[in-house]
Amino acid sequence: MALLTIKNLTVRFATASGAFTAVDGVDISVDKGEVLAIVGESGSGKSVAMLAVMGLLPDTATVTADQMTYDGQDLLRLSPAERRRIIGREITMIFQEPIASLNPSFTVGFQIEEVLRINLGLDRRAARARALELFRAVGIPEPERKINAYPHQMSGGQCQRVMIAMAIASDPRLLIADEPTTALDVTIQKQILDLLMALQERYGMALILITHDMGVVAETADRVVVQYKGRKMEEADVLSLFSAPQNPYTRALLSALPENATGGRLPTVADFMAVEATAAEGLK
Amino acid sequence: MTIVLEGRGITQDYQVREGFLGGWKAVRAVKGVDFQLERGKTLAIVGESGSGKSTLARIIALIDPQSGGTLKIEGQAIDISRQRITPALRSKVQMVFQNPYGSLNPRQKVGDVLMEPLLLNTPLSGDERRARAEAMLTKVGLAPEHFNRYPHMFSGGQRQRIAIARALMLNPALLVLDEPVSALDLSVQAQVLNLLGDLQEEFQLTYVFISHDLSVVRHIADEVMVLSKGEAVEQGSREALFADPKHPYTRQLFAATPVVSVDAIRERVARRQAARVLHP
């Protein structure tokens, strides 16, 4: 059953040179306990669509959709108070730059306890106990010591663990992870992805993973949405997408992977231009 | 067979302060590495952040002097802490950086970007500099009419082409490429990798290719060095290293790199479905 359903989502930005359409009529839905990957290159609108769900877009953005419902509730017509009960509690999000996502002036403990006090109404003592519990759940070593650390005293991987701890603090039913491992080393990336998948399975939450990395998609997703220039190119379960991609753009993207190179040469500029032309035609 | 690049026991120390009032202590970022590279070949240096790969790149590119060891370029021993970098020496080695948004001066037109190395290092006339810059633009897949444009008018991939063009203006023997495609989208990455391959063939260029991405390394490298905490834990030919990684750290890197394999996906999906049946 669909937890989040988005139909015909369009996001336009007012720019100095006129309106720019970042997301153009996209349908996305994610089921309870499902891992959905949204994959695309820069400018594909993959992040913007999810920022629209979270209400995190700036005032210059105009969001329209035929439907945007979470668990039967219309996200477009909620009062601010009702929104706050869902966004940040039942739907949470983590971002690409873990160190930049945290406030450098406060300890990580203060920041996670703030989430627990405001969202769950815990008192200070209970918040500290729960924070330590969450730090253990996300695998932060020496939680008692690290809880008093400032973000700059921790590595990028540890900061992302803190962000994940905050995001799962309220037992969300949907976690949106926007390029959660792009800024991290490959061995740390593996640890963070393993952690996200383990938490997803343990708590049965749905996970939307926004990424540009086909390898990450292959190792995590149940279902995949491929986006290009604000449009959805293809949607399929992960096995079908990789074994029999239907859309020419998806095929080109997969053939551009260095590990798929045949004869030492990757698809050329001309190949991609042809693909872009096909994709553009499909858009009309 | 010509050896273009050779290093023996290269080390690099940085002085860091211990705490706010503490004294200085030396941190050895590169702990004595050896390498040797033939003309027209590519040495990939692989490692994670803090491995010393960029430190080593800066030594090879003659930006920073090494603390110890000998560095030879085309057979000539070089230590830039003791000798002046002559235009002839500077022309032998050039560098391309990771972020083409940061490595190009936003107030400098593309033509000036390309002509500057010639102005600084050669006695060529203005007309000749211009002719060479225009020719180079075509070589890297841009057009001569791009000459008078500013970097912000180009996409990331095009900017990296400009950075590569700038590095090639002095006809270097050796190009040091520090993560040249990490900031680029997959489709653009493929184009830039192809371009690098074509240029290497055409000019018999020797590449030192710094990367953290094993799938790119496997595609482009002849020789591979795996760096961890300043030490070369494993080095060898690409074939040998990818077929049979020996060092535990290399194996850990391989295991952590996500791979696109339909068989692996099929297995994972089956595992997940089985788990769902057990714990619905």
Complex prediction ipTM: 0.81
Q: Given a cut of 80, is residue A268 above it in pLDDT?
A: no
- Tell me which fold the domain A2-242 belongs to: Rossmann fold (3.40.50)
Inter-chain touch B190–A243, beta carbons under 8 Å: no
**Is the distance from CB of B91 to CB of B120 less than 8 angstroms?**
no
Residue of chain B nearest A35, judged by CA positions: B272
Model pLDDT for residues B129-159, shown as the tens digit of each residue: 999 999 999 999 899 999 999 999 998 889 9
What pLDDT is recorded for position B21? 77
Inter-chain touch B190–A189, beta carbons under 8 Å: no
**Residue of B186, B189, B267 best to disrupt the A interface, most CBs of A under 10 A:** B186
- pLDDT-derived band at A284, boundaries 50, 70, 90: very low
**b or e along B250-278 (b: 16 or more beta carbons within 10 Å of the residue's beta carbon)?**
beebeebbbbbeeeebeebeeeeeeeeee
Q: Is A197 on the interface with B (CB under 8 A)?
A: no
What pLDDT is recorded for position A229? 87
Name the minimum distance, in Å, from the CA of A234 to any CA of chain B.
Answer: 17
Over residues A184-204, the mean pLDDT reads 92
**Is the distance from CB of A144 to CB of A132 less than 8 angstroms?**
yes
Give contacts of B215 with chain A, Cβ < 8 Å.
215, 257-259
Torsion of CA A46, A47, A53, A57, to 10 degrees: -130
Residue type (1 letter), A189: Q
Name the minimum distance, in Å, from the CA of B71 to any CA of chain A.
Answer: 29
Q: Helix axis angle, A186-203 relative to B248-256, nearest 10°?
A: 50
- pLDDT-derived band at A129, boundaries 50, 70, 90: very high
Inter-chain touch A269–B141, beta carbons under 8 Å: yes
CA–CA separation, A264 and A262 (whole Å) = 5
Name the minimum distance, in Å, from the CA of B275 to any CA of chain A.
Answer: 9
DSSP state of A44: S
Inter-chain touch A190–B266, beta carbons under 8 Å: no
Reported pTM: 0.86
Inter-chain touch B264–A219, beta carbons under 8 Å: yes
Least confidently predicted of A2-11, A31-40, A181-190 = A181-190
What pLDDT is recorded for position A41? 85
Report the relative pairing of strands B3-17 and B24-38 from DSSP bridges.
Answer: antiparallel
Ordered strands of the B93-96 beta sheet: B93-96, B174-178, B206-211, B42-46, B223-228, B231-237
Inter-chain touch A268–B191, beta carbons under 8 Å: yes
Inter-chain touch B256–A190, beta carbons under 8 Å: yes
Inter-chain touch B190–A266, beta carbons under 8 Å: yes
Q: Given a cut of 60, is residue A269 above it in pLDDT?
A: no
Over residues B228-251, the mean pLDDT reads 95
CA–CA separation, A94 and B177 (whole Å) = 32
CA–CA separation, A52 and A44 (whole Å) = 14
Over residues B173-191, the mean pLDDT reads 89
CA–CA separation, B12 and B56 (whole Å) = 8
Average pLDDT along chain A: 90
Q: Given a cut of 60, is residue A262 above it in pLDDT?
A: no
Inter-chain touch A187–B185, beta carbons under 8 Å: no
> Which residue did the predictor score with more confidence, B49 or A145?
A145
Residue of chain B nearest A187, judged by CA positions: B256
**b or e along B158-184 (b: 16 or more beta carbons within 10 Å of the residue's beta carbon)?**
bbbbbbbbbbbbbebbbbbbbbbbebb
Residue type (1 letter), A1: M
**Residue of B46, B51, B152, B187 best to disrupt the A interface, most CBs of A under 10 A:** B187
Please state the length of chain A. Answer: 284
CA–CA separation, B13 and B28 (whole Å) = 4
Residue with tokens 């330590």: A132
Helices (H) and strands (E) in chain B, counts: 10, 10
Which of A212, A215, A238 has the CB atom closest to B269's CB atom? A238
Over residues A8-32, the mean pLDDT reads 92
Over residues B168-175, the mean pLDDT reads 95
Q: Given a cut of 60, is residue A282 above it in pLDDT?
A: no
Q: Is A2 on the interface with B (CB under 8 A)?
A: no
Which of B218, B219, B256 has the CB atom closest to A189's CB atom? B256
Q: Which CATH superfamily is domain B40-62+85-275 in?
A: P-loop containing nucleotide triphosphate hydrolases (3.40.50.300)
Burial of A269 (0-12, 13-18, 19+ CB in 10 A): middle
Q: What is the DSSP annotation of A141-188?
A: SSHHHHTT--GGGS-HHHHHHHHHHHHHTT--SEEEEESTTTTS-HHH
B-contacting residues in A 200-239 (Cβ below 8 Å): 201, 212-216, 218-219, 222, 237-239
Identify the H or E element spanning B273: helix B262-278
Residue of chain A nearest B269, judged by CA positions: A222
Backbone CA torsion sign across A193, A149, A137, A49: negative
